[in-house]
């Protein structure tokens, strides 16, 4: 369960990180501004992906956000600290640009390091009945989706991870192709 919880958090963080770094790079923002944007978006997407299943299970938005803030904050914070430190430590990764393989390889290394840093955090939280244990009681509630809840998408962690891996691999392939052209 700790692996699943960590992958789930990593997916939201990865989406936010990639989007933030893409925006920062595209607009030529400073490293500090780019990192700040990426961290903000990582928290936004991380919390959003955790909130959707709770809303689908019938929780009110305020209740769902309260559960998610308690469940995910430490995991996302750990990932963001490690991810950004690793990206900053890789020579040229922050300034590489989106069509440079260094950017994509750096992002892959940074997200992998973030996973391994957050896994023990999630494991410890789960053992104490905290973290994702708070959200899992609402998953698969067996309720029939009615009203607007039936339109809330359900994403499995493996599907989200597959999308991130495919996107990052695609980014790397495009960067390599641009370098060879």
Task: Sort 62 into a burial class: Cβ within 10 Å, 0-12 / 13-18 / 19+.
Answer: exposed
156 — pLDDT class (breaks 50, 70, 90): confident
* Residue 106 near residue 98, CB atoms below 8 Å: no
pTM of the complete model:
0.85
Q: How far apart are CA 121 and CA 80, in angstroms?
A: 13
- Per-residue model confidence (pLDDT) at position 181: 81
Q: For the chain, what is the mean pLDDT?
A: 86
Tell me 152's DSSP state.
S
Cβ neighbours around 92 below 10 Å, total: 11
Which tens digit of pLDDT belongs to each residue from 39-75?
999 999 999 988 888 888 888 899 989 988 988 899 9
Structure tokens, 53: 């299943």
- Per-residue model confidence (pLDDT) at position 148: 76
136 — pLDDT class (breaks 50, 70, 90): low
Domains of the chain, residue spans: 2-180
- Per-residue model confidence (pLDDT) at position 138: 66
Structure tokens, 156: 């499995």
Poorest-confidence range of 4-8, 100-104, 177-181? Answer: 4-8
Nearest Cα to 74, choosing from 32, 121, 35, 120?
121
Nearest Cα to 7, choosing from 175, 170, 173, 155?
155
Among left, alpha and beta (phi > 0; psi -120 to 50; other), residue 143 is: beta
Question: First CA to last CA across the chain, in angstroms?
Answer: 44
Which tens digit of pLDDT belongs to each residue from 80-114?
999 989 988 999 888 887 889 998 999 999 999 99
């Amino acid at each position: 369960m700790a692996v699943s919880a960590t992958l789930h958090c990593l997916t939201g963080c990865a989406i936010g990180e990639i989007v933030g770094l893409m925006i920062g790079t595209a607009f030529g923002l400073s490293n500090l501004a780019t990192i700040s944007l990426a961290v903000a978006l990582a928290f936004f997407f991380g919390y959003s992906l955790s909130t959707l299943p709770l809303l689908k299970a019938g929780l009110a938005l305020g209740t769902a956000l309260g559960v998610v803030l308690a469940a995910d904050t430490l995991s996302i914070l750990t990932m963001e600290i490690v991810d950004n430190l690793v990206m900053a430590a890789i020579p040229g990764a922050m300034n590489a640009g989106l069509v440079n393989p260094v950017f994509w390889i750096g992002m892959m290394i940074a997200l992998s390091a973030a996973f391994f840093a957050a896994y023990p955090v999630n494991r410890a939280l789960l053992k104490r009945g905290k973290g994702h244990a708070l959200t899992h009681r609402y998953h698969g509630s067996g309720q029939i989706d009615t009203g607007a809840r039936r339109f809330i998408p359900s994403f499995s962690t493996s599907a989200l991870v597959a999308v991130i891996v495919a996107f990052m691999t695609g980014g790397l392939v495009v960067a390599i192709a641009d370098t060879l052209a």
